[in-house]
Structure 1
Amino acid sequence: MKDILVLSTRKKDFYLVSQVLSNSYTVKYAPDFETARALHILSPFDMIISDIMLLEQNLNDRISIIPDNSFMRINPFVQLVVLCGRKAVQRAVKIVKEGAFGYLTYPIEEKEIQLLVESAGKTLIRDLELDYLRDHFWKTEWLEIIRSKNPRMKKIYESIRSVSPTIATVLLLGDTGTGKGMLARLVHWHSQRCEQPFIAVHCGAIPDTLIESELFGHEKGAFTGANKRKPGKFEMARGGTIFLDEIGTITASAQIKLLQVLQDGTFSRVGGESILRADVRIITATNADLGKLVDEGKFRKDLFYRFNIFPIEIPRLRDRLEDLPTLTDMFLNNLNAKYGKKIHILHPSVIAGFARYEWPGNIRELENILERAYILESSFELTPPNFPPEIVLDPEIKALPVSRTFPLSQARQIAVDAFELVYLTTILEQTQGKINLSARKAGITTRQLSRLLTKHGLNKKNFKKNKKEF
């Protein structure tokens, strides 16, 4: 760590910090947020020491300072230190809990500055090392998939990073379409078994009379129609991973056999007496409440405990809307590779509609409607006529949809975000992504416009129209 910014209306704060640190660090001064942002964009700082009053003035109607901190969007490793009076310590502690590194109280002590900066330097080195290890853990082809701005998803990926190299059984919980199959593959491909088979079984799609045969195989003559010996999925997955989706649907007798596999690693084919070894890592998934099924006597309690060693609960898409731009970009890239149309943007009404839609089918629904719209589209962007009408937001609609009940502050923010998204995409479409012209049309500075584009995940390059029709 070498570059520090002091953000304060009190210039003597800067002089004191500079006096203490100037021999080892470059210390700069900003009297307001606009100056601080400009300096940070030109050359990102490692630490920003800011007066609490300036932070709170910048808060406006937002509930939290840190998650929407523009300094962190420029440099995710920047460390924020709060300057405050003793009466404001409680407010400073709240900001620290939200993600700031620490706080200093007035009058500032030279020794406290030195100790805090040294501690921050050690923390920064640790964070950089962890980030290096994370980047080198994930395989290149999965880097796009694990991108997320959602705190819950970030924790999930950290959990997967921890459990993948082990042989622990993983239980994936979540609604249909949330990506349980993708996460199962993510675990497998980052495990010690990645070179061996990954066998997925949709238990809910197999008739009850055939589930045991499908999983464990059968001997010739085991039942009517068994004309020859057939290996099961556990044999096919030997040395690798078996993914049992919708595990809550399997029969009681199949549950007993699975329990045997988990307890001593053995099984027998249907109609057979030979004992076979099950050298597999088991990942299961369900959209059902297994605990409730246990209470109702539909699922074995001992089997549930065996599966529940490392549960991961996946959020619904409507609970991680901040990932919509990333997911949309990923699916569009896949579609461009598959169909070759080179469509990279969505119409403003579609973007705004995505932000307010309930997404009952989750990520799978998003992928499917994008593919349908892509196939139908004949221009450079995906337009409203090719989407279901309930997904597209009519720009003339002024009222906020009330299909769900929100606190007033959250409802207000949803309405503001939806308006900003439609407004910005419309202007960028008109100007073909020209920032200066767009800022003039909006009556704001280019810096303010850039900040809003970052907030909404908009890229000016995507609005430079390709006139070629398909």
Structure 2
Amino acid sequence: MRNYMIVTLDISAQAALEEILASSGEGKSLTDIAAARSALAVNPADVIFVDYNLLMEDCSLYTDGMSAIWQGHSDVEIVVLVMPDDIRRAVDVMKSGAVDYLTYPINPGEVQVVLERLDKTLMLHTKLDYLRDQFWNEDALHVVRTDSIAMRDAFDKVRQMAGTKTTVLLTGETGTGKSLIAKLIHTHSSRKNDPFVSVHCGAVPDTLIESELFGHEKGAFTGAIRRKIGKFGLAEGGTLFLDEIGTISQSMQIKLLNFLQERTIQRVGSDESIPVDVRIIAATNDNLWDMCEKGLFRKDLYYRLNVFPIEIPPLRERKSDILSFAEAFVSHFSLQLGKDIKGLHPKVLDAFQRYSWPGNVRELENLIERACILEKDDRISLSSIPQELFGLLQGAECSRPDISMAIGRARQLVVDKFEKAYLSELLEATHGKIKEAAKWAGITPRQLHKLMSRHGLQRRSFRPPEKKGTGASQ
């Protein structure tokens, strides 16, 4: 139920509004602004219907009249009542913040249209109030602590839209924390008590992705021995996180587009359309617009997913956050391993600040986990991190820099040299096993392949020689 206030000298207009508003809330009628302000102080209203001339009483500007109402009551919505000849004035008032207007004499049909618009506006206010009251929950406080302007902007966007049904597209490099942001959005939304279901689209074969997402009926294909509800069904009422959305096939893109348009799904082997209440959060490390231009991704699907984009910057662009991330990981793994590691040696932190982190936060997490396993002291020392990470950078710092080239080029040469040394050591340790090496580095196999190609590294160069007698070529 809404609380309404009617401020006009027109008795017939008061009576008409009171009758129409009675079914949707409680109303109070007054005849001057001063009385309205006094009444608002005692009993706040959601909406005030106010005559334009009364609004302008003792004011040279209509903005002053509205400010007088909003002083101490900034959440109240203003609907202006005007004569038909004064509609232009009403439009000017709306430009300054009024939500709508009505003309005399009061028309019930026009009032209903205004009430429908108000419902949407007030619903949004309710959700935003909910977010303001709940942000941030205790578990998220360590996540949102950041000195990075770019990350603060990302978290501000989370605050703005978490409580809505809006579809979100998270973009950023692999390992930047897109899945963490998706969970953050869910846990700070009105859906937080309903399921959060995550699907890594790139990890599901094209032949199974439709069944994985939408489910299937028994006997729909060979091996379908029982009915499967699918991820959409499991996420009913909650959030479905589609990671690496750029990897899905063209046919799957069409089916996902259909869901976003119709909000229904069809299980494999069934023609029945099933309504589903699911909020979609998609993520990608690809440039979807470039894929659209190349014909690899549907533009209409891109527009449907890109309703509210949030870009997550790479770790190299928010190095001020490295210390807080590292300390959080050290605390976590130290407790998990039953150790008492309290922090990082200053030279370790210095090396971390100089490194480019191609694997981003995930690479940092994996490196800290490895260091915590190796560390025997009460803080992470140089001996517990890959020597290339510290040694190469230390050598670059001690040698005389080549000032004949631009600083960006000089920096890139150092980074390239380290990356090649790091990858060579990594592939040597894993005997050229791409999946294992990528997991250890905290990056995807595809990203590892790209880095290897950039530095001219061949997988076969790191495979152990075949033993004689196996029949393999030597």
Shift of 1:148: 0.3
Larger Rg computed on CA atoms = 2
| TM-score (ref. length: structure 2) | 0.56
Whether the aligned pair in 1 keeps the contact of 2:197 and 2:239 (CA below 8 Å) is yes
Counterparts of 1:29-428 in structure 2, within 5 Å, are: 136-393=134-391, 397-399=397-399, 406=407
Unpaired segments ≥5 residues, structure 1: 1-129, 412-470
**Cα deviation per residue 1:337-363 (whole Å; 9 max; x = unaligned)?**
322312122223211110100100000
Distance 1:400 1:170, change over 3 A: farther
Shift of 1:390: 2.4
In 2, the alpha carbon distance for the partners of 1:390 and 1:136 equals 45
Whether the aligned pair in 2 keeps the contact of 1:242 and 1:282 (CA below 8 Å) is yes
Whether the aligned pair in 2 keeps the contact of 1:177 and 1:364 (CA below 8 Å) is yes
**Cα deviation per residue 1:158-182 (whole Å; 9 max; x = unaligned)?**
0101010111000000000000000
Whether the aligned pair in 2 keeps the contact of 1:201 and 1:243 (CA below 8 Å) is yes
> Counterpart of 1:436?
none
**Cα deviation per residue 1:386-417 (whole Å; 9 max; x = unaligned)?**
21122225667424889x96469x98xxxxxx
CA RMSD of aligned residues (A): 2.4
SS of the residue aligned with 1:144? helix
Which portions of structure 1, spanning 4 or more consecutive aligned residues, are displaced by more than 6 angstroms?
Answer: none
Whether the aligned pair in 2 keeps the contact of 1:174 and 1:180 (CA below 8 Å) is yes
In 1, the alpha carbon distance for the partners of 2:379 and 2:138 equals 28
Amino acid at match of 1:181: S
Shift of 1:150: 0.5
In 2, the alpha carbon distance for the partners of 1:400 and 1:196 equals 59
Shift of 1:309: 0.5
Whether the aligned pair in 1 keeps the contact of 2:150 and 2:313 (CA below 8 Å) is yes
SS of the residue aligned with 2:387? coil
In 2, the alpha carbon distance for the partners of 1:290 and 1:395 equals 39
In 2, the alpha carbon distance for the partners of 1:386 and 1:134 equals 43
In 1, the alpha carbon distance for the partners of 2:340 and 2:143 equals 20
Distance 1:164 1:198, change over 3 A: same
Shift of 1:136: 4.9
Shift of 1:222: 1.2
How many corresponding residue pairs?
A: 279
In 1, the alpha carbon distance for the partners of 2:399 and 2:161 equals 46
Whether the aligned pair in 1 keeps the contact of 2:134 and 2:188 (CA below 8 Å) is no
Shift of 1:135: 8.6
In 2, the alpha carbon distance for the partners of 1:385 and 1:331 equals 18
> Counterpart of 1:120?
none
In 2, the alpha carbon distance for the partners of 1:236 and 1:401 equals 57
**Cα deviation per residue 1:329-383 (whole Å; 9 max; x = unaligned)?**
1111212332231212222321111010010000000000000110111111112
- Greater CA deviation, 376-385 or 164-173? 376-385
**Cα deviation per residue 1:240-267 (whole Å; 9 max; x = unaligned)?**
0000000011111111111111001001
SS of the residue aligned with 2:142? coil
Distance 1:198 1:254, change over 3 A: same
SS of the residue aligned with 2:369? helix
Whether the aligned pair in 2 keeps the contact of 1:349 and 1:395 (CA below 8 Å) is no
Whether the aligned pair in 2 keeps the contact of 1:350 and 1:391 (CA below 8 Å) is no
Shift of 1:134: 6.2
Amino acid at match of 1:398: C
Distance 1:328 1:405, change over 3 A: farther
SS of the residue aligned with 1:172? strand
Distance 1:401 1:361, change over 3 A: farther
Distance 1:401 1:391, change over 3 A: farther
Whether the aligned pair in 2 keeps the contact of 1:321 and 1:355 (CA below 8 Å) is yes
Shift of 1:385: 2.0
SS of the residue aligned with 2:301? helix
Whether the aligned pair in 2 keeps the contact of 1:331 and 1:370 (CA below 8 Å) is yes
Amino acid at match of 2:213: L
| TM-score (ref. length: structure 1) | 0.56
